[in-house]
A and B are shown apart, each in its own frame.
Chain A
Amino acid sequence: MEEDEKKLSKIGIVSCSGEDLPEGTISRLATLEVLHHKKPFDTTTICLPLYIAGGEGDRMFAKNHPTITVDGCEKLCAKKATEKYSGKVTHSINVRDFIKNAAEIKNKSNLNDSEKKLVSEVADVISLKVDEILKENNK
């Protein structure tokens, strides 16, 4: 993929699935908030495990799109898997960097107010980063 073609692409957002921890749900919902509400025309996504289960087209994702990964913990699975199978990520976000009181983040579904607030904060950060990348690419 030529750099010029990549400049015209939507921004890719790849969330960890994080089934084993509440932060995985936060990363997933924040990603969905950006994809569906904040930046629906500027963003796209892929199911992360398709890097293994899918085809060559799926593994071209980060080559075709400037990509932001959203992870729920320090293992950074979304970032590592994207860079292992697809291509270098443009920006990486870890939900845990935004948690002020870890004791309040405990649900994997039926989120409490603190968890909903965190979803909103992380979605805002992703959205800002999308704007930055778009601005940079349109220079």
Chain B
Amino acid sequence: MTGKKVVVIPCSGIGKPIGTVSRETANEVMRLRPDAADTVCLASLTSGDEEAIKKVKNNHVITLDGCAKHCAEKNTQACGKEPDKSYMILKFAAQNPDKKPEGIADIGKDGRELVKTISKKIISDIDEIIQNEKNRV
């Protein structure tokens, strides 16, 4: 492991199930890559919390957005950090029509399958980012 982690920032959109999918994906990625992945409360970036902004600036970032407003990406950029990668979770959902999340509070079995599918892609990105970091050192 290098010193830097990959901070996965989901939008957590409260109005749509896909926001919960982004949130659950960040949780799943941290569960599977505890040494490499981290997260930060998106609301703390919005409120201007210095500790959160420092964490984002000093690490790699992947943003996961649920809708075209791109809140996770834009709030990250607003604190002076360009994400290494930015994903629109809605695109994964469109590519996996059989894995449709049910509700906002509980995305259901199919929603959890979608989370697993997206998590594999994010973990692959994290491994690549960390490997590139090691190669540079």
Contacts and interface: CB of A to CB of B under 8 A. Distances in A.
Interface string A18-29: 111100100011
Interface in A2-25: 15-21, 24
Contacts, number: 103
B47 A80 contact: yes
Interface stretch (A44-52, A87-95, A96-104): A44-52
Of B10, B12, B27, chain A has the most CB atoms within 10 Å of the CB of: B12
A19 B14 contact: no
A19 B26 contact: yes
B72 to A, nearest CB: 7
B96 interface: no
Which size class do B's interface residues fall under? Answer: 20 to 34
Given A19-B40, A31-B14, A49 B104 contact: no
Interface of B: 9-15, 19, 23-24, 26-27, 39-49, 69-75, 78, 104-105
A32 B105 contact: yes
A134 interface: no
A24 B27 CA distance: 12
B41 A24 contact: yes
A68 B92 CA distance: 34
Contacts of B71: 47, 49-50, 52-54
A29 B73 CA distance: 24
Contacts of A50: 69, 71
B40 to A, nearest CB: 6
Interface string A67-86: 00000100111101100110
Contacts of B12: 17, 19, 28, 47
